[in-house]
Structure 1
């Protein structure tokens, strides 16, 4: 991409990000108890230094709300000049971490802990800044802010409260009323509140900047503390800033199709920015998702947008500082209240509830609010470890009585000695003299638990009963019986085969469908039941509409390694999509439901080798009678120039992609960037998938990773 072409997109995007960064930088500095210039310095340094050196070109860096609590505590303990020195040292630690190529290691931290930490920080910010919004002063800790809040609300309120509430109202309503990204809500809210303050002649407290910004820069000073205290402060800022920056970089990668982030390079760049910011008397710098997502949404193409946004801030501070001094502090506090509360994401809470990680999230958030950041994160990590251990040793036990003294015992999951007591109690409850089938669906079995089952089996059989032990994963109990237990927690994959294959192997010839259902309920249902129960509760949210042939040899979930809830499938003879003008109601309804209701992001048309429908079309079906001939004629595929069956199948897939675009819902979603159309070709003999280039009507192999 040429520089001039890129700048056509990057310059407007940089202006949008600059307009957001100004109020946020001032508000974060105020909430941290730092000089307001420190927030602006960090914004300039984050834009220019990280923009030049960073490994995530479209990420925008600057002062972040996630560090507000840490910085405020550090300033309260050591003073701002010493905090600036700590920030500079933290930058050095980040550089070392990046050079040691530990960028990926930071992502090993549980996301539930990270997001719980941010939620706790957001609540602490909101609790402190609501006091400023109501015309009071923020206290030193969240507990004191919470205790004083009722009195603050009940007290008398002046213009500050009106201006703060006006700012919040604009922040919430602006995105619904104004759709252009050139006028961000934060900027509009602060400008409107500032104008209202001027019209009212308000005496509310305003932004106070030095008359000569460059002359008033506060240089760093070595902290008056012991090496241990300094090291803790440095590592805290370095680690939290690193994690937040790297998580933001990963999130930004999902928003665009450009080069992926080099996390180690990004970490070095963040360190260089923090060292520079600290030496210049600025706040710590991190990659921030709000400004970064705005940058991508505004059309930025290269790192020039982030660099330019930093330069615009520098020019504005030097040339237009008096304009900033008209902004009421209550307006900035209101912006921080909204930003803080938005760190508590309801979508993330629902996600962690579905994945049963909500306790970790809640423990971290409450710990940060009730104690301090390090203690809260430590509590969250402890909760995450306990949850992991609980899952590792958890097994599901089901005892189902049958007729004539028959019992079925199903044990699924991980069976270690800590769960053997539950197993012993469940088995002891089975009456003597019966016929018991024990089905084991285990990914791990230790000797203690094995001994419990074996001892019970021997005792039960001595009392006149019969016990049969059968394993889905073919190994754990059998290996233990043969004295070979302990090969590791890796079970062989479940068998896959057609009805005839697995029935022949078992030497059982029964009604295929009935036998298959029974085998599913015995072997597979216990493994997939938790996942299916979640889908039954939460509904389906597939990512793909998968249109393929009804050929019995083609199994969509097998060839895409997908499972329940992943694919919304339409299958018919020849994977045909009739044009909208002659649409079949079944196909058209499926397409509209997938795009409008399920909001799928991709529609895939998949053909396959040996397709009988394509073979019929190649021979000509213009005179074929009946429903089959009528259906195949709707394909619309022109096979002129096709060289062999493979090329004809590929041409048919390409034509169905063209037919898809005749549907208004597809055209609208694709034009809005919400939908992608793709074509695939599956070779049955090779068991290999190919992509289809619809323009050239050729197939191309999908590279197989080593």
Structure 2
């Protein structure tokens, strides 16, 4: 991968133009966001204020220079706040610096071990729940600071002491904290010109002004001398190495997970932006080692900084590095400004940040995916116990839920309506764990009843296979019949060749197409019918049973006789959906052909179809003969004469042809598209069609199947267009050209 095209590997120093026009302004915006966050996180952990600023400086400079994403910005993160706070409380700040440096070494090892992308294999619901738990714990503790008190050591203690804190609330601190929260939450409604100022900075300034105006006393940040005069160097712990190593690993895992997730998420904000998660772990690890050795907080890639950097227009990694420079200059030159910031303002900021980690979208996703119990338990354990137990319990629950889902099997045994036959269905992973459910279902089948056992399984072991064979033999001995229909990826016959294994997911498709592949039997029709009876006829029976006496198609489908067109496949339709008319060139003669006329009348007057579709295709032989005006001296010439109007319209310059030319189609295919549009016009003039359109809203549609790409285009009287993905609203285009309607 070349360095000049990959932003993740671009050299740290941009050109002067990029630096002045993009990176310099973006770095200032990132600095304004990082400054209050870094100070607030330092206060929340019980670390010196300088530790937060050092983390921001080193995160910008070191991680910015060596990270794997050109636009990611490192710095102190709320994700490790609880772990760091617990370390400060248990070991003191100097030992915590040693733990921070050790966590950085682990991050570097994670990156060198190429497990950056492997971190994505951790169940996202556990990561989301961990961050939510950290956010809730952070917010609960900072409520006490907002009320004018001190943050307790645990969430449980915070809740117990909350009534006492409310009784002793300090009005000045509460007013400042509420002002901070109001500005943060309401800043998005400010005028666009004001919103250029980052919300955290605007909120801190507003809260500081409120602190000067309120008559009550307000607690402010306490500093003595220059911020970096008394940098705390790391110290070795005097004991408890097990707890030290566990805390070190906890910080590394949380910081690493947040780094990988934030880096991947930041790339989605700008198409074409690439990243190397392993290299980013190395960069953040080096920054964390440096920060720990100099007395700073752990460093990680943080989504709020990275997204701010991307949205501010940064082009290279110089923006992240410059943001660290601005924090350093501020910390050295503006100590007095730092001392004016109220503690309650930082508490309000951290409450908003903490609650922001509890994202409703993550909760909705957990509910939709059936992982809500994992999310809830992980959050509760993190909040009321600790981060490490929460992570381990969450992973254990997620793994247990995965095993349950993978090994789950659905077994039913029901009589077939209107028949003496019984249908037993086995769907899922059929193992010895499913034997109680399987035997119970089989026992419901009456003696001497004909039975179809439909197996849609992706894993089958010997115990389940033997149970099925034993029951089948016993049922047949009692006078019944048993027919096994295996449509899943795993088959009973596979067990004779070796141990149980996952079946091939393409097996059904291979069986359907097998008779037509090279080397297949000489009579593919007979072979196909045999395969159909063996594996798919039973699937069709329920659908065709309802259509036994009457059809009710949705559309009259006029298409070409070409063998490469399979309308039911590319329209995802089934039996009874399409009333199909096929002829050479998908023509609708205006006169002189009673066959197509009869189909139109029957479809509209008897079947009452709701739409009429004309479908052409690429590489059409009829269009090729029409274009070159070939003759055969047979009835084919008389039939293709119905398409001469299409050829004339094409040569005069039809809008559809122009649209198709812009999309890169050749002349024969453009003629085929014009032919669809002309047949639609012919249908629109048909008296019965026109009456159905006016009276009951009959819809006329044109399609074109591009064989080379296996895609379907929409044809109108004005042009061609790609179909849109109805579920996501994203155009499913295969060609780069924009086609007009």
Could you state the TM-score of these two structures normalised by the residue count of structure 2? Answer: 0.73
1:391 is aligned to 2:405:
yes
The aligned residue for residue 230 of structure 1 is: 244
Q: Secondary structure at the match of 2:459?
A: strand
Distance, in Å, in 2 between the alignment partners of 1:139 and 1:216 is: 26
Structure 2 residue corresponding to 1:443, chosen from 451, 458, 478: 458
Q: 1:610 aligns with which of 612, 619, 622?
A: 619
Q: 1:507 is paired with a residue of what secondary structure? A: helix
CA shift in 2, pair 1:625/1:232, >3 Å: closer
Residues 639, 237 of structure 1: alpha-carbon distance in 2 compared, 3 angstrom cutoff: closer
Describe the shift of the 1:77–1:635 C-alpha distance in structure 2 as closer, same or farther (beyond 3 A). Answer: same
Question: Where does residue 373 of structure 2 map in the other structure?
Answer: 359
SS, match of residue 413 in structure 1: strand
Q: 1:121 to 1:646 in 2, by over 3 A?
A: farther
Aligned mates of 2:151, 2:52 — CA distance in 1? 18
- Matched residues in 2 for 1:347 and 1:391: separation? 23
> Of the candidates 65, 81, 103, which is equivalent to residue 52 of structure 1?
65
Match of 1:192 in 2: 206
- How far the C-alpha of 1:492 sits from its partner, in A, is 4.6
Report deviation, 1:257.
Answer: 2.7
Please state how far the C-alpha of 1:630 moved relative to its aligned partner.
Answer: 13
For the Cα contact (< 8 Å) 1:614–1:648, is it kept in 2?
Answer: no
> In 2, distance between residues paired with 1:198 and 1:295?
32
Is the Cα–Cα contact under 8 Å of residues 128 and 138 in structure 1 kept in the other structure? yes
How is 1:31-430 mapped onto 2 (pairs within 5 angstroms)?
Answer: 31-179=44-192, 182-402=196-416, 403-430=418-445
Matched position secondary structure for 2:484: strand
Counterpart-to-counterpart distance in 1, 2:138 and 2:493:
58
Instruction: For residue 243 of structure 1, report the CA deviation from its aligned partner.
Output: 1.7
Work out the CA distance in 1 between the residues paired with 2:406 and 2:399: 10
Matched, 1:470 2:479: no
CA–CA separation in structure 2 for the residues paired with 1:82 and 1:510 = 72
SS at match of 2:454: strand
Q: Over aligned residue pairs, what C-alpha RMSD do you find?
A: 4.2
Mean Cα displacement is larger for which, 4-13 or 57-66? 4-13
Return the match for 2:472 from 450, 457, 478. 457
Post-superposition offset of 1:404: 3.8
The alignment partner of 1:57 has SS state of coil
Shift of 1:216: 2.3
| Residues 642 and 272 of structure 1, relative CA distance in 2, 3 Å threshold | closer
1:28 Cα offset (Å): 0.7
The residue number in structure 2 matching 1:704 is none
Structure 2 distance, partners of 1:557, 1:186, is 57
How many angstroms apart in 1 are the aligned matches of 2:490 and 2:651? 52
Paired residue for 1:5?
Answer: 17
Aligned counterparts of 1:104 and 1:640: Cα–Cα separation in 2: 41
In 2, the alpha carbon distance for the partners of 1:71 and 1:367 equals: 17
Select which of 598, 618, 637 maps to 2:659. 637
More divergent stretch after superposition (373-382 vs 391-400) = 391-400
| 1:49-106 deviation line (CA, Å, top 9, x unaligned) | 0001111111111000000000000000111111111111221222233223332332
What secondary structure is seen at the aligned counterpart in 2 of 1:495?
helix
- Cα separation, 2, equivalents of 1:40 and 1:251: 25
CA distance in 2, matches of 1:554, 1:185: 58
Indicate the SS of the match to 1:441: strand
Alignment partner for residue 507 of structure 1, among 502, 512, 529? 529
Please give the residue correspondences for 1:495-574 in structure 2 after superposition, counting only pairs within 5 Å: 495-496=508-509, 505-507=527-529, 518=540
2: CA distance, partners of 1:304 / 1:190: 27
Q: 1:650 to 1:325 in 2, by over 3 A?
A: farther
Deviation at 1:278, TM superposition (A): 0.8
Aligned counterparts of 1:115 and 1:295: Cα–Cα separation in 2: 23
Assess, with a 3 A threshold, how the Cα gap between structure 1 residues 332 and 503 changes in structure 2: closer, same or farther. farther
Match of 1:579 in 2: none
SS at match of 2:334: helix
The Cα of 1:505 is off from its aligned counterpart by: 3.8
Bigger radius of gyration among the two:
2
- How far has the Cα of 1:285 moved from its partner? 0.5
Deviation at 1:233, TM superposition (A): 2.3
Secondary structure of the structure 1 residue equivalent to 2:425: strand
Gaps of 5+ in 2: 5-13, 517-523, 545-557, 574-584, 586-614, 630-642, 675-705, 707-711, 723-727
Shift of 1:430: 1.9
Q: TM-score normalized by structure 1?
A: 0.76
How far apart are the structure 1 equivalents of 2:323 and 2:76?
Answer: 14
- What secondary structure, in the 3-state scheme, does the structure 1 residue paired with 2:23 have? helix
Write the distance in 2 (CA, Å) between the matches of 1:148 and 1:20. Answer: 32
Deviations 1:236-268 (A, max 9, x none): 222221121112111112222344212222121
2:506 pairs with one of 453, 472, 493:
493
CA 1:475/1:72 → structure 2, altered by over 3 Å: closer, same or farther? closer
